Amino acid sequence: MALLVSGVEILISHPRFYWGEAGNVLTAPLFKLPIPASRATVPTGYGYVLPDQNGWSRYLHFQSAWVCVLTGLLYVAFALFQGHFRRNLVPAREDLSGRRLSAIIAQHLRLRPARADESRSYNVLQRIAYLVVIFVLFPMVIWTGLAMSPAIASAFPAAVAVLGGQQSARTIHFLVSLLLVLFLLIHVVLVCLSGFRNRMRAMITGRPAPDMERV
Amino acid sequence: MKRLSRRKLITTGLVATAGASGLAAVKLARRYGLIPPDGGGLYGPGETLTYAAQRLLTRHSLAREFNPNQISKPPFANEVAPLGDVFKSLQQGAFTDWRLTVDGMVARPASFALGELKSFPRRSQITHLACEEGWSYIAEWMGVPLSHILGVVGTLPQARYVVYRSFQPDWWESIDMADAMHPQTIVAHGMNGGELPVSFGGPLRLRVPRQLGYKSVKYITRLTITDSLKQFGKGLGSASPEGGYAWYAGI
């Protein structure tokens, strides 16, 4: 949440995105967001300039990023050690067949709640989504975030070049954050749909709710 | 009762170990200059981690240099506060009376005229300038390596920071010796093959290419070499933390 809020605040100072190494208001943007900016130098079409919130936003963004990266590393280390990914997240081979996948997608589209026996383990769509978030989106958002740093770029120039440049890194950072926000929204909506109390209890205690165990 | 006391013993032990190793880490970090001047307060832990990690990873790394065909045309000159009549009269005299004063922990304090600086060995580099706001441009910068000026005045061994001031009185910054002695940190007086335009910081701008644009202060007039930033401003290292921005701008 802190990363999202501070990220949005930083973005408001220049709501334009470019591709390549360099980009500024004299460069044609790849796309721009139809929002006012916190800098008078950015032509937004709005007659007013938002207050500058970048200072604390940058401090908070990087501090939260450290918390996120360090807890993320701990999580991955423990999960690998305990075989959590292999046991609970890697989809079973038979679940990846076209028929099974389309069946479960259809089930989700009808918003049918999971049966009690299904809520004991993650279904194949959940597994794929979690794996993508853990092993694609989070690494990408950290990588593109670091690639924007001029100091990191000096030490690891290839990490920037592969992305297409520093402005490309910024653009990808924004797009990947959007995907993460999308994941978060869907995640919360599905938790609410499948019974908020039970799911929260399961997440915190690691056990399914007692009334479900009886079924 | 027994289980509780054992748990208590273990947690107390863990807390004590964590505390002791934390204190040891802080002591070690201070010794190796890994704590930034704005390393206190609410965002101090994150700022210290960032500065320490980047110092360890990037002490000697060189900022990326680009090909002439990658130079941004035209580059973007950010807005600056009005410079006033004194600046204008200096500008009318082609800045021949512009001086850069160097003082503090140096063997031979000096004041260099612009012409003198231009006669020093020069370095030209095509680097990226990124603003913390998100925009950037690539330009060719030409100037005297700061390390050369520091060599001429003879910095004392206890020097740890270089404080630099702008003609604009409330604009001042500082960098550590790793950045000050870095070969690409230059006192720039030329840009894209010509004189450094006033809109880009002319006649003199300190270019620190491994940090964001706000560390590359325009219109510099004075360098002060010091072993501590405590006595400058509010003691946070530069005007940036006083305005809410991080002292270290490597990211």
Whether B250 sits inside 8 A of A170 (CB atoms) is no
- What the block records as the tokens of A133 is 């978030």
- What the block records as the tokens of B11 is 């947690």
Q: Which of B45, B74, B132 sits opposite A63 (nearest CB)?
A: B45
The whole-angstrom separation of Cα B106 and Cα B244 is 31
The whole-angstrom separation of Cα A112 and Cα A135 is 29
Per-residue exposure over B19-31, b if at least 16 CB sit within 10 Å of its own CB, e if not: eeeeeeeeeebee
Q: Which of B63, B72, B245 sits opposite A150 (nearest CB)?
A: B63
CA angle B243, A67, B58 (to 5 degrees): 70
Residues of A in contact with B200 (CB under 8 A): none
Residues of B in contact with A148 (CB under 8 A): 130, 251
Evaluated on CA atoms A175, A43, B132, A55, the torsion sign reads: negative
Say what the pLDDT of residue B71 is. 96
3-class secondary structure, A14: coil
| Maximum alpha-carbon separation in chain B | 86
Q: What phi and psi, each to the nearest 5 degrees, are found at residue B18?
A: -60, -45
Every domain of chain A and the residues it spans:
1-64, 83-214
CB within 8 A of A181, min separation 6: which ones?
A4
3-class secondary structure, A115: coil
* pLDDT-derived band at A210, boundaries 50, 70, 90: low
- List all residues of chain B from 85 to 124 with a beta carbon under 8 Å from chain A: none
Say what the pLDDT of residue A211 is. 54
Give the distance from CA B71 to its chain's centroid.
Answer: 23
Give the model confidence (pLDDT) of B15-29 as tens digits: 888 788 878 887 888
> Contact, B86 vs B221, CB < 8 A?
no
Average pLDDT, chain A: 88
- What the block records as the tokens of A206 is 């690691």
Quickly count: other Cβ atoms within 10 Å of residue B193's Cβ: 10
Q: Domains plus CATH for chain B? A: 68-242 (3.90.420.10)
Q: Is A212's pLDDT higher than 60? A: no
Say what the pLDDT of residue B168 is. 92
Say what the pLDDT of residue B1 is. 47
Q: Is the ipTM above a cut-off of 0.90?
A: no
The H or E element that residue B228 is part of is none
The whole-angstrom separation of Cα A62 and Cα B47 is 7
Give the model confidence (pLDDT) of A62-97 as tens digits: 999 999 999 999 999 999 998 888 888 888 888 888
Give the model confidence (pLDDT) of A134-192 as tens digits: 999 999 999 999 999 999 999 999 999 999 999 999 999 999 999 999 999 999 988 88
Say what the pLDDT of residue A213 is. 44
Tell me how far CA of residue B208 lies from CA of A170, B40, B174, B189, in angstroms: 21, 24, 11, 14
Average pLDDT over residues A32-57: 91
Closest chain B residue to A26, measured at CA:
B76
Say what the pLDDT of residue A196 is. 77
Question: Where is mean pLDDT largest: A1-10, A27-36, A90-99, A139-148?
Answer: A139-148
Beta bridge partner(s), residue B223: B102, B164
Closest chain B residue to A60, measured at CA:
B43
For chain A, report the end-to-end CA distance as a whole number of angstroms: 36
Query: How many Cα atoms sit within 13 Å of B106 on the Cβ side?
Result: 21
Pairing outcome for strands B220-226 and B99-104: parallel
* pLDDT-derived band at A208, boundaries 50, 70, 90: low
Give the distance from CA B150 to its chain's centroid.
Answer: 15
Ranges of residues in chain B with a pLDDT under 70 are 1-4
- Closest-CA distance of chain B to residue A17, Å: 9
Quickly count: other Cβ atoms within 10 Å of residue B250's Cβ: 24
> Contact, B243 vs A52, CB < 8 A?
no
* pLDDT-derived band at A116, boundaries 50, 70, 90: low
